[in-house]
Amino acid sequence: MNDPFEGMTNQLFEDKHVLEEDYAPETILEREDEINAYRNALKDVLFGRNPSNIFIYGKTGVGKTAVTRYMMKALQKQVDSRDETDDLYVLFHNCNNDSAYGTLRAFINTLRDDSEPNFPKKGLSTGDALEAFYTTLDERGGTFLLVLDEIDHLAKVNSLLYELPRARSNGNLTHARIGVIGISNNYRFRDSLSPKVKGTLMEKELSFSPYDANELRTILMHRAEKAFVDDAYTQSAISLCAAKAAQDTGSARQALDLLSTGGDLAEDRNDEVVTDDHIHSAETRVQRGRVRNKIRDQTPHAQLILEAVARLESSDETPVRSKSIQSTYERVAAHWGTDPLSSLRSVQDHLSELEMLGFLSRTERNDGRAGGAYYEYELAMDADAVFTAREEIAAEQEP
């Protein structure tokens, strides 16, 4: 066979990385009000005062992380240019599936010199970790901003959020000041905190709303200019990405995914310009990717239970009660070589969780005295999308 890569050229993309998730935009567009509010909330850091605690809320892809990183960089630059201001350290941590102990350990290890031993993974208590953290902070001195992304996923969050803001007034810190910046998709997060914590935190709250089509178009145009070579996309393709993402989620991530996938498709087909056609085709692929990622985030048993409901849905057996789902789930688990959960209660817990996350819908039925109240479940998404996602996830996991 001839060289399969012979003659391949890169004619569409100037710099594809500009459309990818880990690209940090140097300008933030369409978020002036949020940036102003953020600036006011952070200004104490410049004046040597205790920093405010700040919580950022908003749905996925609306710029919470991008704006936070942008603000932290700008603040760091400003602090570094002012001799009279205390040193600033910004520490980022994603709290997904982590504990207060793990979070503190990550911060301690980031701050410790290479010559110092790492803080142990286990064997000590959260209290020990807090003590070591305070010692490390006080040794350095200065202002520490702790950015806790996905803070609603942090186990034992109350203990941490109660302790950190009081560290200075309790005499645990003398030379250091702490501010907590929490980021969350869950607007109800605050309600879940204990009254004691709410009273101590006194946080400033910033809310990021979904983008509309015009805002998304501005963001996309700016990126497309850098990502593609001249004339490699139509304005109409950009507007279409913006319109589709605005109508669905208002997420800049979704809009960027559509544009990037549209570019991939055009490149695969050797087309020189990204057009509406590519974006229409990209939509199915992006949608599939999103479903797959959402399913991948679930535990193995939750995935099997979801697949069981999808099987029942595709054979027209829904709405269906949890007992019938359980027997289908047992067959699905056997198919994948997994031991199923044995209690109906556990299956029902997973069903409630899947309903809450939007995978399933449920209706309460009541058979009166004879049967009492019970739930019936249906799939809230396309069954084929679940099957494809499950097969793709299984293929990824094969050695």
Ligand X SMILES: Nc1ncnc2c1ncn2[C@@H]1O[C@H](COP(=O)(O)OP(=O)(O)OP(=O)(O)O)[C@@H](O)[C@H]1O
User: Which residues are annotated binding-site positions?
Assistant: 62-66, 211, 223
* Bridge partners (DSSP) listed for residue 294: none
Strand order in 204-208's β-sheet? 88-94, 142-149, 176-184, 54-58, 204-208
By rule CB under 6 A, what count of residues binds ligand X?
19
One residue of 104, 237, 245, 256 binding ligand X per CB under 6 A: 256
Minimum distance of ligand X from residue 229's CB (angstroms): 21
Residue list 32-71, contact with ligand X (CB under 6 A): 58, 60-66
Helix (H) or strand (E) holding 39: helix 32-42
319: which 2 tokens? 């709405």
Q: How far is the CB of 360 from ligand X (least distance, A)?
A: 22
CA distances from 184 to 94, 118, 152, 275, 310 (A): 11, 29, 6, 35, 30
Q: To the nearest whole angstrom, how small is the minimum distance from the Cβ of residue 226 to ligand X? A: 12
21 binds ligand X per the rule CB under 6 A: yes
Nearer to ligand X, 29 or 74 (CB): 29
Using alpha carbons, list the distances in angstroms from residue 168 to 120, 143, 146, 178, 358: 25, 12, 15, 8, 42
390 binds ligand X (CB under 6 A): no
CB of 96 to ligand X, least distance (A): 10
Of 64 and 217, CB closest to ligand X: 64
* Residue 46 beta carbon to ligand X: minimum distance, rounded to whole angstroms: 24
**CA 399 – CA 333 distance, rounded (Å):** 20
Question: What does the alpha-carbon distance between residue 376 and residue 315 come to, in Å, rounded to a whole number?
Answer: 16
Q: H helices within 250-343, ranges in order?
A: 252-268, 276-296, 300-314, 322-335
Q: Give residue 234's Cα distance to chain centre.
A: 31
Under the criterion CB under 6 A, does residue 290 sit at the interface with ligand X?
Answer: no
Residues 186-245 that bind ligand X (CB under 6 A): 219
Residue closest to 326 by CA, chosen among 310, 311, 348: 348
**Toward ligand X, which CB reaches closer, 53 or 260?**
260
* Closest to ligand X by CB, 31 or 362: 31
Nearer residue to ligand X within complex by CB, 186 or 352: 186
**Residue 272 or residue 297: which is nearer to ligand X going by CB?**
297
User: Roughly how many angstroms between the first and final C-alpha of the chain, as a whole number?
Assistant: 29
- Binding site listing for ATP: 62-66, 211, 223
Query: Would you say 86 or 150 has its CB closer to ligand X?
Result: 150
Q: What's the min distance (Å) between Cβ of 119 and ligand X? A: 27
- Per-residue x/- track, 150-189, ligand X (CB under 6 A): -----------------------------------x----
Which 3 state secondary structure label does DSSP give 125? coil
Residue nearest to ligand X (CB): 63
* Count of alpha carbons within 13 angstroms of residue 202, beta-carbon side: 8
Check residue 261 for interaction with ligand X (CB under 6 A). Answer: no
- The stretch near ligand X (CB under 6 A) out of 28-36, 111-119, 167-175, 389-397 is 28-36
- How far CA 284 is from CA of 175, 244, 289, 360, in Å, comes to 55, 12, 9, 21
Helices (H) and strands (E) in the chain, counts: 16, 8
State the minimum distance, in angstroms, from the CB of residue 151 to ligand X: 11
By CB under 6 A, name the binding residues for ligand X. 21, 25, 28-31, 58, 60-66, 185, 219, 252-253, 256
